[in-house]
């Protein structure tokens, strides 16, 4: 199972550092190292050891870049390897495999099902498609909190669709939709369709209609 988990993490953490955020406390990452390793993950599971680029992108001194890389290496979040390029030139690479191994160990210890990881990843991918843009780390965490509150992926996606249909492009709008549905006991797609039908037939009480401005944020 561990090999499968590592492959999932290697593929999907390039775009969604979901599990890094979820297990940040267990990983015992400092704020600065957390930001730095999130930056590294955007470039895949292996990337060239280019301190000047890191320094420029993150607007920090080169000395600080070296300190962060050494801290992550020492704590076994990354490893530095030497690879042979064209014309037998050698180049150092940063490899994130140790990070994936750490996270997979945590997942296994918590008995998280592989199927659930894939469902979470699909949810994030679908939401990105609807919004037509990448999700920020804060948005990823926001969405995962919906799961923790008990909202199903189908209901979450339906709220996202409603958000877009109403001309919004943010999660706060969808959060308000989910909040109202939850107040009315709406838990499934069937419940949502029934609620819409009741509204069309005039079976919705005045106090059940949303009494605030969706775009007032």
Domain made up of 2-108: CATH architecture: Orthogonal Bundle (1.10)
Q: Same fold for the domain at 2-108 and the one at 113-208?
A: yes
Task: Give the chain's mean pLDDT.
Answer: 80
What is the structure's pLDDT at 63?
Answer: 93
**φ and ψ at residue 132, rounded to 5 degrees:** 70, 30
Q: What is the CATH number of domain 113-208?
A: 1.10.10.630
pLDDT over threshold 50, residue 150: yes
Report the distance separating Cα 195 and Cα 177, nearest Å. 13
What's the average model confidence in pLDDT over 45-69? 89
Q: What is the pLDDT of residues 62-82, one digit of tens each?
A: 999 999 999 999 999 999 988
pLDDT over threshold 80, residue 213: no
What's the average model confidence in pLDDT over 148-170? 90
Q: Token pair for residue 35? A: 């930001």
Could you tell me the pTM of the whole model? 0.55
What is the structure's pLDDT at 43?
Answer: 77
Domain segments of the chain as ranges: 2-108, 113-208
């Amino acid at each position: 199972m561990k090999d499968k988990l590592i492959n999932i993490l290697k593929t999907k953490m390039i775009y969604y550092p979901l599990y890094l955020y979820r297990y940040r406390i267990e990983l015992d990452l400092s704020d600065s190292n957390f930001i730095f390793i999130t930056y590294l993950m955007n470039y895949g599971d292996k990337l060239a050891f280019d301190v000047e680029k890191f320094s420029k992108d993150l607007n920090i001194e080169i000395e600080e870049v070296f300190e962060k890389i050494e801290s992550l290496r020492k704590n076994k979040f990354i490893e530095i390897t030497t690879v042979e390029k064209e014309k037998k030139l050698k180049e150092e690479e940063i490899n994130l495999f140790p990070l994936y191994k750490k996270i997979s160990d945590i997942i296994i210890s918590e008995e998280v099902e592989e199927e659930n990881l894939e469902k979470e990843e699909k949810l994030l991918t679908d939401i990105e498609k609807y919004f037509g843009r990448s999700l920020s780390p804060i948005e990823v965490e926001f969405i995962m909190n919906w799961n923790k509150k008990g909202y199903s992926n189908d209901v979450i996606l339906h709220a996202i669709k409603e958000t877009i249909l109403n001309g919004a492009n943010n999660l706060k709008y969808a959060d308000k939709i989910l909040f109202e549905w939850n107040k009315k006991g709406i838990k499934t797609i069937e419940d949502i369709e029934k609620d819409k039908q009741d509204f069309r037939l005039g079976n919705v009480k005045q106090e059940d209609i949303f009494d605030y401005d969706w775009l007032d944020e």
